Structure 1
Amino acid sequence: MYTYSDFDRAFINARNAQFRAQVERRIDGSLTEDEFRPLRLMNGLYLQLHAYMLRVAIPYGTLSSDQMRGLAFIAEKFDKGYGHFTTRQNIQYNWPKLKDVPDILDELAKVQLHAIQTSGNTIRNVTADHFAGASADELEDPRPYAELIRQWSTDHPEFQFLGRKFKIAVSGSPTDRAVTKAHDIGLRMVKNDAGDVGFEVIVGGGLGRTPMEGKVIREFLPKGDLLPYLESVVAVYNLLGRRDNKYKARIKITVHENGLDKYRELVEAEFPHRRAAFNGIDQELLDQIRPQFKSPYFTTAPKAEFEKAYAKDPVFRSFVDTNTATHRNDDYAIVTISIKKHGATPGDATAEQMRVMADLAEEFGHNELRISHEQNVVLPHVHKAHLPAIFARLQQADLATANVGLASDIIACPGMDYCALATARSIPVAQELAERFDALKLEHEVGELKIKISGCINACGHHHVGHIGILGLDRAGVENYQVTLGGDGSENFAIGERAGPGFSYAEIVPAIERVIKAYLEEREDDAETFIETYRRVGMAPFKAALYPDADKGRKHAA
Structure 2
Amino acid sequence: MYQYTDFDRQFVKLRAQQFRDQLERWQRGELTDEQLLPLRLQNGWYIQRYAPMARIAVPYGEISSLQLRTLGRIAREYDKPDPELLARAQATQDQLEASQPGQTLPAPPLKYGYGHFTTRTNCQFNWIPITKAADVMDLLASVCMHGIQTSGNDIRNITCDAWEGIAEDGIVDCRPFAEITRQWSSLHPEFSYLPRKFKIAFNGAAEDRAAIGWYDIGLQALRNDAGEVGFTVKVGGGMGRTPIVGSVVREFLPWDQLLNYIEAIVRVYNGYGRRDNKWKARIKILVKSEGQAFIDAVEKEYRAIVDLDGAPHTITQAELDRVTSHFVVPELKSAGLPAKVDPQGQLYQRWLRQNVRGHRLPGMKTVTLSFKRPGFAPGDADADTLDALAQLAEQFSASEARLTHEQNLMLPWVFESDLPALYEAARKLGLAQPNIGLLTDMISCPGGDFCSLANARSLHIAAVVTERYQDLDELFDIGPIDLHMSGCINSCGHHHSGHIGILGVDKDGKEWYQITLGGADGSQLSGPAIGGKVVGPSFTAAEVPDVIEALLDTFRSLRQSGELFIDTLRRVGHDPFKQAANAARHPKVEEAQAL
Bin the TM-score by the shorter chain: over 0.9
Equivalent residue letter for 1:504: T
Is 1:342–1:408's contact at 8 Å kept on the other side of the alignment? no
Matched, 1:296 2:364: no
Displacement of 1:436 in angstroms is 1.1
Equivalent residue letter for 1:223: W
Alignment of 1:412-423 (within 5 A): 412-423=444-455
Is 2:231–2:253's contact at 8 Å kept on the other side of the alignment? yes
> What residue number does 1:267 align with?
298
Alignment of 1:419-434 (within 5 A): 419-434=451-466
Is 1:61–1:371's contact at 8 Å kept on the other side of the alignment? yes
Matched, 1:368 2:400: yes
Which of 286, 297, 304 in structure 2 is aligned with 1:254? 286
Question: Could you tell me how far apart the structure 1 residues matched to 2:531 and 2:369 are?
Answer: 28
Which of 99, 110, 121 in structure 1 is aligned with 2:131? 99
Is 2:357–2:365's contact at 8 Å kept on the other side of the alignment? yes
Q: SS in structure 1 opposite 2:74?
A: helix
Equivalent residue letter for 2:570: R
Question: Could you tell me how far apart the structure 2 residues matched to 1:440 and 1:70 are?
Answer: 34
Equivalent residue letter for 1:272: R
Is 1:343–1:434's contact at 8 Å kept on the other side of the alignment? no
Question: Could you tell me how far apart the structure 2 residues matched to 1:548 and 1:46 are?
Answer: 41
Post-superposition CA distance 1:154-185 (Å, at most 9, x none): 01111001000000000101111111000000
Q: SS in structure 2 opposite 1:416?
A: coil
> What residue number does 1:524 align with?
560
Equivalent residue letter for 1:227: L
Which of 335, 349, 356 in structure 2 is aligned with 1:324? 356
Question: Could you tell me how far apart the structure 1 residues matched to 2:6 and 2:336 are?
Answer: 42
Equivalent residue letter for 2:581: L
Equivalent residue letter for 2:320: L
Matched, 1:62 2:94: no
CA change 1:549–1:246 in 2 (3 A) is: closer
Displacement of 1:30 in angstroms is 2.1
Which of 512, 534, 556 in structure 1 is aligned with 2:569? 534
Displacement of 1:35 in angstroms is 1.7
Question: Could you tell me how far apart the structure 2 residues matched to 1:262 and 1:169 are?
Answer: 24
Q: SS in structure 2 opposite 1:390?
A: helix
CA change 1:549–1:337 in 2 (3 A) is: closer
Alignment of 1:4-43 (within 5 A): 4-43=4-43
> What residue number does 2:96 align with?
none
Matched, 1:547 2:582: yes
Question: Could you tell me how far apart the structure 2 residues matched to 1:109 and 1:133 are?
Answer: 27
Is 1:323–1:404's contact at 8 Å kept on the other side of the alignment? yes
CA change 1:301–1:538 in 2 (3 A) is: same
Matched, 1:218 2:250: yes
Unaligned runs of 5+ in 2: 80-111, 591-595
Q: SS in structure 2 opposite 1:432?
A: helix
CA change 1:279–1:89 in 2 (3 A) is: closer
Question: Could you tell me how far apart the structure 1 residues matched to 2:31 and 2:458 are?
Answer: 35
Displacement of 1:343 in angstroms is 4.4
Please, what is the CA RMSD of the aligned residues? Answer: 2.0
Matched, 1:186 2:218: yes
Is 1:139–1:197's contact at 8 Å kept on the other side of the alignment? no
Matched, 1:53 2:89: no
Displacement of 1:312 in angstroms is 2.5
Matched, 1:454 2:486: yes
Higher mean alpha-carbon deviation, 133-142 vs 455-464, is at 133-142
Alignment of 1:134-533 (within 5 A): 134-259=166-291, 261-275=292-306, 276-278=310-312, 280=314, 283-297=317-331, 309=341, 311-438=343-470, 441-491=473-523, 492-525=528-561, 527-533=562-568
Question: Could you tell me how far apart the structure 1 residues matched to 2:501 and 2:272 are?
Answer: 33
Equivalent residue letter for 1:296: P
Equivalent residue letter for 1:94: N
Question: Could you tell me how far apart the structure 2 residues matched to 1:523 and 1:392 are?
Answer: 36
CA change 1:214–1:279 in 2 (3 A) is: closer
Equivalent residue letter for 1:273: A
Equivalent residue letter for 2:531: I
Question: Could you tell me how far apart the structure 2 residues matched to 1:420 and 1:5 are?
Answer: 38
Displacement of 1:60 in angstroms is 0.5
Equivalent residue letter for 1:512: I
Equivalent residue letter for 1:315: L
Displacement of 1:281 in angstroms is 5.6
Question: Could you tell me how far apart the structure 2 residues matched to 1:298 and 1:447 are?
Answer: 34
Unaligned runs of 5+ in 1: 554-558
Q: SS in structure 1 opposite 2:53?
A: strand
Question: Could you tell me how far apart the structure 1 residues matched to 2:319 and 2:147 are?
Answer: 23
Question: Could you tell me how far apart the structure 2 residues matched to 1:523 and 1:466 are?
Answer: 19
Alignment of 1:113-132 (within 5 A): 113-132=145-164
Q: SS in structure 2 opposite 1:242?
A: coil
Displacement of 1:28 in angstroms is 2.2
Higher mean alpha-carbon deviation, 202-211 vs 62-71, is at 62-71
Displacement of 1:133 in angstroms is 1.5
CA change 1:231–1:280 in 2 (3 A) is: closer
